[in-house]
Chains A and B, each alone.
Chain A
């Protein structure tokens, strides 16, 4: 074995230019496989990051207006969601993992020691922070203690913090919200949100739900009315989504999604509307978007991977061509070796190893170069929805596997040709 490799190296060195040119094909093929799949992965991660900013798989539920009559009441009645509705969904739904009520008020007068603002203030329960990706630059998150004690504490969005406090550290600062003193306990990191339902989180102030419903209830609705309820479905619900999508007969917007149906059924019982009344509540399910974007990126990645592999195979053709030439050139040598007792298997192994070794060597080098290239590209600033070139271990393995397959495929045929040469003919051969 080691002898065979040694001989391969010698042969490669004997034809330096030829070997280099051949290796270049594989080298480049490998680079393009890695670069393309890293680009695809970068798109996937960048997209995932943007989707996560709003909350990756969440449903936002609003009260609507009934459009069907039910229980003796006429259509057109307004459905107003309450805290009890949120609790009922959490208790009764088999599809939902986390529920948080939300009350919002816009243009609330907020004053710090330095500046003032007309801000959007949102009351939330602690579990909201996790599903809506409220991540802090510094400070602490809300806890159930804040709810029980109805603490007047606040977490401030990035841009709002800058407006109210400038560049200062805002921890422990006091501000008045609608005249009432609140202590800042945290600052949200800068968010790069591409979609929202009531303004970007960067401009908001969050307070505990209990404090919100006491200090800043909605003025435009009966006391205790929520703005909306945020729900996070269990993982299996999200996993089932593609099936519901593929099983649809009409257009996507006409699909009555299982999650929404589930929530509607629970609320229908509590508010006495028809469970089939799609207008009674409105729900925005972001997992649908996640799925769609995932598919879109998946298609792109798939395309890139195929192109990369095809390119690598092109390098393989070069190897095969050159190995065939080598076999022809060394016909005489093969004849001599066979005459001296080399078996078909030995010859085949020698030529196979030579080609395979050439492929692996240049493929490995290509991988290194590609990784370096990715690192280099990642130094530049990246656009939104693209996280730079990242080689995932799966694609890394896939490219190595492809390389090996191509190496085997392209080395086998020339080796076969060499091995099957009849010794007498081979000895007589002249170029």
Chain B
């Protein structure tokens, strides 16, 4: 008995192997059949299928363009604001007290000395700080003269306010400030007015009658927000040197930067408390020393951009959904028209899932083809349409970074494809389910 068992077992396994292979073969044939049916269905109604495909492509194009526009809109605003301030930078200007403090009435002018400004740099949450003195001076180079805003600042100002030097020059350095050097960093408009085509670095200009050597020229700067004047119209000199030109005991403004942008609100409290204690006013008095942080700008910008993106996504996704609905609609029609055929196939032994697969495949193929065409076309359109005019004309920005640049990013394609997949599945599945659930007898009788 044991021997018989031993003898028989390979036979059993070979039978099961053969049947497995046969089953796999059958499945393959079935798949091929399903695939052929789907293709045939599409081919038979090619005009219909083409129109549905067009719907999907159209939907994809509008999703891509809308989302890209939203991204570009945010990018342009970001470029405009980032151009002026590094993250976490706060501009402060002393004002007047608006609350009573320590027996004193409100309305006392607050004057902050440069030393106290520098002391703010010692606070744990503050990374950089610079006093800033601003005054208009006549600037003379050779026989050319024009009036410009001169800003007396520290070396760290360059980092905080994103003042990038053109090649061959530099911003002010610590040494310049410490040694009270007569050096200047100038904006592009100042260069244009005074120098024309001559390279300015190393040249000497007269600021309020005193000679200053130019150490650097600013890169073209696009600035969406500014105080007093955009930076390209300004001359920057060490604040210590400014003393020779005008009174520099009390700062007009000062700029400081939090250790990280996230910590800006907490650093703000710290700076306020420090100044309130030093100048004896109420720490809750926000108008004694006014502060405007880049975070505030960011919030306004992200509010607008977020809202716009939301609208865009909403519209885009639903537009694609229309394409999907179009496919679903046509698939339902197909199912209805082919009710008889389905009846016949079922009567001949076709399984429910085979019918389902056939119609699902038809829907998916349409969606997929439409999607691929749509993405290809939108890639072309994005390239063709970009950049859309936005802020560049307003800011006289020759580089056009503040226009809306449409970009087909990987993220965008991933998002669109995901939506497409969901749309395709839903719009293919519902009609396919309907087809697979048809009662064969009823279907055969259908007219």
Contacts and interface: CB of A to CB of B under 8 A. Distances in A.
Interface string A291-314: 011011001100100010011011
Interface residues of B, number: 56
A109 interface: yes
Given A28-B319, A321-B48, A431 B109 contact: no
A192 to B, nearest CB: 11
B325 interface: yes
A318 B55 contact: yes
Contacts of B325: 21, 24-25, 318
A103 B341 CA distance: 90
A324 B326 contact: no
B62 A310 contact: yes
B81 interface: no
A384 B388 contact: no
Nearest to B73: A300
Interface in B273-323: 287, 300, 303-304, 307-308, 311, 314-315, 318-319, 321-323
A296 B337 contact: no
Interface string A323-346: 011000100000000000000000
Contacts of A24: 322, 325
A25 B329 CA distance: 10
B54 A17 contact: no
B417 interface: no
B391 to A, nearest CB: 6
Nearest to A325: B333
B394 interface: yes
Contact of A22 (B315, B329, B393): B329
B389 interface: yes
A279 B146 contact: yes
Contacts of A39: 308, 311
A36 interface: yes
A251 B396 contact: yes
Contacts of B48: 321, 324-325
B249 to A, nearest CB: 16
Contacts of A279: 146-147
Main secondary structure of the interface of A (DSSP, over half): helix
A126 interface: no
B43 to A, nearest CB: 16
A25 B327 CA distance: 11
Given A311-B315, A317-B55, A431-B337, A296 B394 contact: yes
A73 B96 CA distance: 42
Interface stretch (A112-120, A232-240, A257-265, A351-359): A112-120
A277 to B, nearest CB: 11
Contacts of B328: 21
Interface residues of A, number: 60
Nearest to A318: B326
A132 interface: no
Contacts of B100: 115
A383 B303 contact: yes
B108 A324 contact: no
A1 interface: no
A111 to B, nearest CB: 7
Interface in A99-129: 107, 109-111, 115-119
Q: B100, B107, B189, B393: which has the most chain A beta carbons within 10 Å?
A: B107
A79 to B, nearest CB: 11
A406 interface: no
A64 interface: yes
Contacts of B51: 317, 320-321, 324
A253 B54 CA distance: 47
A158 to B, nearest CB: 13
Nearest to A293: B394
A35 interface: yes
Given A118-B107, A321-B330, A314 B58 contact: yes
Given A17-B332, A386-B304, A317 B54 contact: yes
A408 interface: no
A251 B319 CA distance: 41
A315 interface: yes
A268 B319 CA distance: 61
A355 to B, nearest CB: 14
Nearest to A288: B394
A163 interface: yes
B24 to A, nearest CB: 37
B396 A252 contact: yes
Interface in B59-74: 59, 62, 65-66, 69
A321 B52 contact: yes
B445 interface: no
Contact of A317 (B58, B65, B109, B398): B58
B222 to A, nearest CB: 13
Given A321-B48, A324-B48, A28 B318 contact: yes
Interface in B359-401: 388-391, 393-394, 396, 398
Contact of A292 (B54, B300, B329, B394): B394
Interface string B37-59: 00000000001100110110011
Given A163-B98, A325-B48, A296 B322 contact: no
Contacts of B394: 289, 292-293, 295-296
Interface string A142-164: 00000000000000000100010
B105 interface: yes
B396 A310 contact: no
Nearest to A329: B337
Interface string A1-40: 0000000000000000110011011001101100110010
Given A28-B321, A307-B315, A318-B326, 20 more contacts: A21-B325, A31-B318, A32-B318, A39-B311, A76-B145, A110-B107, A115-B98, A115-B106, A118-B96, A163-B107, A251-B396, A252-B396, A293-B394, A299-B389, A314-B55, A314-B322, A317-B58, A321-B330, A322-B333, A384-B300
Which 9 A-B pairs rank lowest in CB-CB distance, beginning with the nearest?
Answer: A116-B107, A118-B96, A117-B107, A292-B394, A383-B303, A21-B329, A318-B326, A116-B105, A163-B98
19 contacts: A21-B329, A25-B326, A36-B311, A64-B147, A75-B145, A76-B138, A110-B107, A115-B106, A117-B107, A251-B396, A293-B394, A296-B391, A300-B390, A307-B315, A315-B322, A318-B55, A318-B326, A321-B48, A321-B330
